[in-house]
Amino acid sequence: MAYSLTADQVDQYQRDGFLFPLDVFVKDRVDHILGELEHARTVAREKGLEPELAQLLRANTHYLLPFVNEVARAPQLLDRVESILGPNILLWSAEFFIKAAHTDKIVSWHQDLTYWGLGETNEEMTAWLALSDVNVESGCMRFVPGSHHQQIVPHRDTFDATNLLSRGQEVAVDVAEEDAVDVILDPGQVSFHHGRMFHASGPNRSARDRIGLAFRFITPEVKQLVAKRDYAMLVRGIDEGKNWIHVSPPGRLFDPADLELHARIRQDQSTALAEGAEQELYTAY
């Protein structure tokens, strides 16, 4: 593989639970992705989807936007993912994280795997692609090194309106914030992190939107343990586990059949995402 991680990089990921910065895409590719995103917004407006566009971009956008699939399958990215997960890779989720300029919105300390219904698995990882300058001022992520070696810890729901998470969820244990590392990325750089990693992000005090595109990759051995069924796309290798309903990439932006499937997938996944919630989840964006 032309873009494989080094042995030292793999060891660092296993030790710390994260790895960054990885130079994955050049400026021209980033500009192209941003142009495709703007085009998708235009098409959404033309189709009368603007009221729900924020949610469509935040949840399973790979089922609706062909260019997101192209990015996810790029060898510059997948070769590095394969270095950690192995040759058989499924894309479980893809979502834009757009934190508006001059916003007080934050993301509290949490572990991703808490509400996904995938259990305590190590056979997953998030690849977070920066499409803008991502730094402390713009509200970058923060990681606590080694926190992924714990199991999933108790979380509490705050439903705080300033929190971008759907339940305002936060870990119900002390976090060693003095040990946290700021995940500073240039456009085109990627960070990897484990689903049990303690992570959070602050407000965007900058004059520009902070834009990221997160891919959640899993191996075929991972199973959905809470919802009755779940969906994924095979992006490399083979699936011998047969634990997932396979979905093909979309052919065009916001195709009606894809929108119908997207709604069904969100409904099916909601069993896991809402498990234990004391009130209805609000829409996060």
Residue 124 corresponds to which tokens in the numbers above? 């997953």
- Give the pLDDT confidence score for residue 163 in this predicted structure: 67
Greater pLDDT, 161 or 70: 70
pLDDT of residue 274: 64
- State the pLDDT confidence band at 176, using cuts at 50, 70 and 90: confident
**Residue whose token pair is 């959070």:** 200
pLDDT score of 155? 84
Question: What is residue 63's DSSP assignment?
Answer: G
**278 pLDDT above the threshold of 60:** no
- Residue 205 and residue 110: Cα distance in Å, rounded? 22
Q: State the pTM of this model.
A: 0.93
Instruction: Return d(Cα 212, Cα 57) in angstroms, integer.
Output: 11
* Range 10-31 average pLDDT: 98
Predicted local distance difference test score (pLDDT) of residue 160: 67
Q: Residue 184's pLDDT is what?
A: 98
Distance separating alpha carbons of residues 256 and 264, to the nearest angstrom: 13
Q: Six-digit token pair at 178?
A: 């003095």
C-alpha angle 22-28-34 in degrees, rounded to nearest 5: 90
105-151, pLDDT tens digit by residue?
A: 998 999 999 989 999 999 999 999 999 999 999 999 999 999 999 99
| CB of 109 closer than 8 Å to CB of 171 | yes
pLDDT in tens, 233-277: 999 999 998 899 999 999 999 999 999 999 999 999 988 876 654
Q: How far is CA 34 from CA 30, 46, 68, 214, 266, in A?
A: 6, 19, 11, 14, 25
The residue ranges of every structural domain in the chain are 7-273
Which pLDDT band holds residue 5 (cuts at 50, 70, 90)? very high
Nearest to 127 by CA among 101, 92, 155: 92
Identity of the amino acid at 210: R
What's the pLDDT at 166? 57
What CATH code would you report for 7-273? Answer: 2.60.120.620
Can you give the pLDDT at residue 174?
A: 83
Look at residues 44, 90, 134 and name the one whose alpha carbon lies nearest to residue 236. 90
**What does the pLDDT read at residue 283?**
36
